[in-house]
Each structure stands twice: as C-alpha cells, then as structure tokens.
Amino acid sequence: MSATAAQPVVTADDLVVTSKVELDARFQATPAGPIPHGRGTGTVLALPGSPIARPLSRLLGLVWRGKNFRPQSRDLKNLISPLAIPLIRAEVSTAESWLDGRPCVLLDYSKSSWVAGWIRDEIREVSPGVYLGIVWGVGRLFGGRRLVLRFALTFRPEG
C-alpha cells in the first residue's frame, strides 16, 4: 500500500486554492514518502485559498520553476528563471518536521547556500508524485524560526 493511498488524489492546482490551515492539516496527516529524484515542477502556494492565490502562483512561477533532486549526491538545485537555471543548492535527507515532530524529507540550505542559508524546507508526498512543502525562515529576522511559505512539487510518473 502506498504511503499516500489513504489521501484523496490532489494536484498542485488543487493545493493553490486550499487554505493554510487545510494545507498544514494535510501535511500533518501524511507520511514523509520517499525522497524524490529528478525534476519536480514547482508551484508557489502564496496566500493559498485566497482569490489572488492562483494568479500570484503563476506570477511567482516565472521566477521559481521547481527543484532538481540528485539522489547520487543527496542534494538538489532549485530551478530559477523562465530558463529553469539550476541554482541554490540544498542538502537532502530525512529528519523530524518542525511542524509536528514526525518524519519528513528535509531540504537543508544552512550548509550549502550563502544565498538561502536561512531557509529550511520540509516536504511530504500528499498524493502520488505530488509533494507539499513548507518553508521555515530561521534566525533573528524571523524571531528564531517561522513558517513563511508553502509550495508544491509535481513529479512526472516514470515509465
């Protein structure tokens, strides 16, 4: 049985129109899932559930295109700009989520990026090939640590 079998099938577009409270509940109700590999198409979930969530997501999607996971080196690079240039590296592992203390896939920028060293991403597979991510801001600017943004990653089925 798949880690996501109990959850209804959702897409990144479904997540855009879901409220923050519902996104966090979905994240907490889902096991981590496997560490993804390859290219995941990114969807920014800024002001999720609001009337401007969909157009805002499309606009921000011009800057952040997703992430390319490389299992052999246990890292990823974010895909930036309409050209999807691989920049901003993160180390990938499993860890306990700061949201609920349960396992998640951790995307850690603290040791690998001077640009985003104050960011910690956590992801869980909420539907087959669809990961819901939460972004933590860390440091004095955020008063310690604060959940600042949500995102989705969609991976094409292999085959």
Measured distance CA(66)–CA(142) in Å, rounded: 24
Q: Is 28 helix (H, G, I), strand (E, B) or coil?
A: helix
Q: How confident is the model at residue 3 (pLDDT cuts 50, 70, 90)?
A: very low
List 131's β-bridge partners, or say none.
125, 153
The reported pLDDT for the residue numbered 138 is 93
Residues spanned by the domain of 142: 12-154
pLDDT of residue 73 exceeding 70: yes
Residue range 80-99, pLDDT digits in tens:
999 999 999 999 999 999 99
| pLDDT tens digits for range 49-72 | 999 999 999 999 999 999 999 999
- The structural domain count of the chain equals 1
Residue 152 main-chain phi, psi, to 5 deg: -125, 150
pLDDT at 6: 55
Query: How does DSSP assign 70-118, residue by residue?
Result: EGGGTEEEEEETTTTEEEEEEEEEEEE-TTTSSEEEEEE-TTT-SSSTT
Does 4 fall in a domain?
no
Q: Give kind and range of the element (H or E) at residue 126.
A: strand 119-127
Distance (Å, whole) CA 86 – CA 115:
14
159 domain residue, yes or no: no
Q: What is the pLDDT of residue 2?
A: 44
Q: Is the pLDDT of residue 1 over 60?
A: no
